[in-house]
Amino acid sequence: MALLCIRIAMILVLFLAFSENYGFLRGVTSLGINYGQVGNNLPQPEKVLDLLSSLKLTKARIYDTNPQILTAFANSNVELIVTVENQMLAVLMDPQQAFQWVSTHIKPYFPATRITGIAVGNEVFTDSDTTLLAYLVPAIVSIHGALAQLGLDSYIHVSTPNSLAVLTESYPPSAGSFKTEVSGIMSQYLQFLSSTKAPFWINAYPYFAYKDKPDEVPLDYVLFNPNSGMIDPHTKLHYDNMLYAQVDAVIFAIARMGFDGIEVGVSETGWPSKGDADEVGAMVDNAAAYNKNILRRQFKNEGTPLRPNMRLEIYLFALFNEDMKPGPTSERNYGLFQPDCTMVYSVGISALSSPSSTSSASISLTSSATKVTNMESLVYLKFMIFLTFHVFTRRAYCAIV
């Protein structure tokens, strides 16, 4: 009987391993979304959680440590990256202040709320307030130290999102390099990332490249549509979209600083569905194409040409249109959803228009490869059931004779 139990256990383990690898239990584990709150008509965090859950999105980034959100997201399967506002960096350089901040803003909510990362500031390396840069790395180190004191450093990474403008060269990708004026502090920051295994986050928007030079930048190339792409003359790598080229440019820039193996993720990328007259390309069709194609690539769990076997983690910008954001019209129109939880446009995420009906929504965009592997998993499950039944009946037969 003991041998029979062992056999059954082995069969179940094999099935679980197979289904995990071939998509029976696995979703798009790398896709996240930015949940901004610069609006006066946004839904309550509880409804936002319902929306994310119905869409099967399990990663989100917020731009503060809003206690309402952290409380509402408790005991859910949504992983959160929270943010330290830029104006707090000078204060959090002090290790004692950092410990107090972590004790107040992180520890009371963890682990019920699945906080997986802290973004210290946003685009500090290229901020117009250049005094912030001197505070960045000390604040990052102090916050990480506070996490370590509380035993949380192995669960929560510390990093900072960067604008692509931190690069002085990005084309071709192999020419990627950081601006010389930030190289000293960048080296310190990369050393921290290397030692803690935290990712380098980049806010990358191919939309801006197209908007600035629509006559030179092919629209299909920036939208992930079928196109001839470009070949890096030095690496001979082929790129069929600008986002992956931008990410690889960052990887090359990091390598030029003497660091290798640091993961690069996309903390923000998106496309506006509406813009001013001079914002070329800001329209619904382009926004839908860009985000739909990113979803399609994420279903493949693919990497960039330089790191094809390392899944690229991407956070779409943004969940909602935010009516109080300053700047041009495009700034208020990056959302996949309106504040009432209706879709701005379809990107392969099916949701009913009624906010009360979002529980029936789901990610419906499925590549043919996903359908095939799911069918393979189903066939495999049937085989395992048959095999288990065969073991049982054979054992019973042997006992009778």
Assess whether 85 carries a catalytic annotation. Answer: no
Sequence letter at residue 303: G
Residues making up the chain, counted from first to last: 401
| Residue in 85, 181, 263, 268 annotated catalytic | 268
Beta pairing class for 59-61 and 79-84: parallel
The CB density around residue 330, as the number of other CB atoms within 10 Å, is 22
Q: What DSSP state is assigned to residue 317?
A: S
- The strand ranges marked E within 276-352 are 314-316, 349-350
CB 161 within 8 A of CB 122: yes
What is the largest distance, in Å, between two alpha-carbon atoms of the chain? 86
CB crowding 117-138: b at 16 or more within 10 Å, else e = bbbbbbbbbbeeeeebbebbbb
Nearest-5° Cα angle at 295, 374 to 326: 155
Question: How distant is the alpha carbon of residue 181 from its chain centre?
Answer: 29
DSSP string, 144-185: HHHHHHTT-TTT-EEE-EEEGGGEEE-SSGGG-EE-GGGHHH
Sequence letter at residue 341: C
| Residue in 20, 79, 85, 123 annotated catalytic | 123
CB 173 within 8 A of CB 248: yes
CB crowding 166-199: b at 16 or more within 10 Å, else e = bbebbebbbbbbbeeebeeebeebbebbbebebb
Beta pairing class for 349-350 and 238-239: unpaired
Assess whether 268 carries a catalytic annotation. Answer: yes
Q: What is the pLDDT along the chain (401 residues), one digit of tens a residue?
A: 544 444 444 444 344 343 333 332 244 566 899 999 999 999 999 999 999 999 989 999 999 999 999 999 999 999 999 999 999 999 999 999 999 999 999 999 999 999 999 999 999 999 999 999 999 999 999 999 999 999 999 999 999 999 999 999 999 999 999 999 999 999 999 999 999 999 999 999 999 999 999 999 999 999 999 999 999 999 999 999 999 999 999 999 999 999 999 999 999 999 999 999 999 999 999 999 999 999 999 989 999 999 999 999 999 999 999 999 999 999 999 999 999 999 999 887 643 333 333 333 334 333 333 333 344 344 334 444 443 444 444 444 334 44
Q: What is the 3-state secondary structure (H, E, C) of 109-141?
A: CCCCCEEEEEEECCCHHHCCCHHHHHHHHHHHH
